[in-house]
Amino acid sequence: MSSQKTPAPSIVKAYDITVKSLKRHPALFLPFVIFLICDLISLAALYLAPRAPFIKLFGPVIRTFWGERFLHYPLNFLLLPKLASLARMGVSIVFGSLLTGMAVAIMYNIYNHKRVIKLSEAFKLALKKYLYLFIVVAFFTLLFYFLLKFIPKGLLYYFIVGRHKQLLFLGINFWLGPFLLIVNFLLAIFIQSAFIYAIPLLIIENEKLLGAIWRSFILFIKLFIPTTIMVTLPMLFYVPIVILQHKNAFLVYRVFPEIVLLISVLNAALSALVVDCMMTVSTTVLYLLHKENKVS
């Protein structure tokens, strides 16, 4: 028996298969298009939150957590990206988990050279695993959310409650500005990378929930460089959007408030059709290549 380590799959080969699969099988886009539609419906509802009949649903929540003023023009646009982000989390957990499982099942069939891709079979397989898919996506989504909350609160406590003017010779504007954006981006990469294989393991290998989460982390360690690269590259598309949303107040007061809505729509489209699509499909291919190398 050979004691040699399984070679890491080629990133170039994984991307080549991914691009060819997306070109030859447009059905592979379907789960991400459905997710985009769900995301845009939630965004439209939030945009209309200050108006009847949506104000009956969203009005009490916005008043309680952010205040009455955010139900009026143009301040409603200052809050819109935050609300859209929270809504996307909910859509990702409830619908995205199922749709990602479906996309993995479709890619698995394509990889195994099945000529006819039956969307109904992929949907049924994902639906059968829905509870596990839901828990996995909820786990890493909420983990990311609470980590995002913890870091700025710690910094605010240090500067405001502790009354410190600097940290490592730098002021609050740096730590709550560029530093926080970089940390959030790196956290997103790390958490996505650590759990990216959980859904392929649930769908392809029929793993149990805890086994899929644990094995995903182990695979991430083994395939650290290719996994990190294949998660990071699509997420770079977020960078201009993140920078624009960080300048939300400037856009509302110096450009025109409605541009925030346009940026949110662009963000939704990039997220579903580029970032999520490339990340899900390419890492599934990477996993299948790794599995193939291990067997051979």
> Residue 281 — left, alpha, or beta (φ > 0 → left; ψ -120 to 50 → alpha)?
alpha
Under DSSP, is residue 170 helix (H, G, I), strand (E, B) or coil?
strand
User: Bigger pLDDT: 144 or 4?
Assistant: 144
- Is the pLDDT reported for residue 4 higher than 60? no
State the pTM of this model. Answer: 0.89
Q: What is the DSSP letter of 205?
A: S
Query: 245: Cβ–Cβ under 8 A, 6 or more apart, which residues?
Result: 81, 263, 267
179 vs 186: CA distance, rounded Å: 11
pLDDT digits (tens, 9 = 90+) for 257-279: 899 999 999 999 999 999 999 99
- Can you say how many angstroms the Cα of residue 97 is from the centroid of all Cα atoms in its chain? 11
Assess whether pLDDT exceeds 50 at residue 2.
no
Residue 77 · residue 252 · CB < 8 Å: yes
Mind listing the pLDDT tens digit for each residue in 135-174? 999 999 999 888 888 777 777 777 776 777 767 776 677 7
Q: What is the mean pLDDT of residues 206-233?
A: 94
Contact 225, 207 (CB under 8 A): no
pLDDT (tens digit, 9 = 90+) per residue, 17-39? 999 999 999 999 999 999 999 99
Domain coordinates of the chain in residue numbers? 11-295
Instruction: Measure the CA–CA gap between 90 and 129, rounded to whole angstroms.
Output: 18
AA identity, residue 60: P
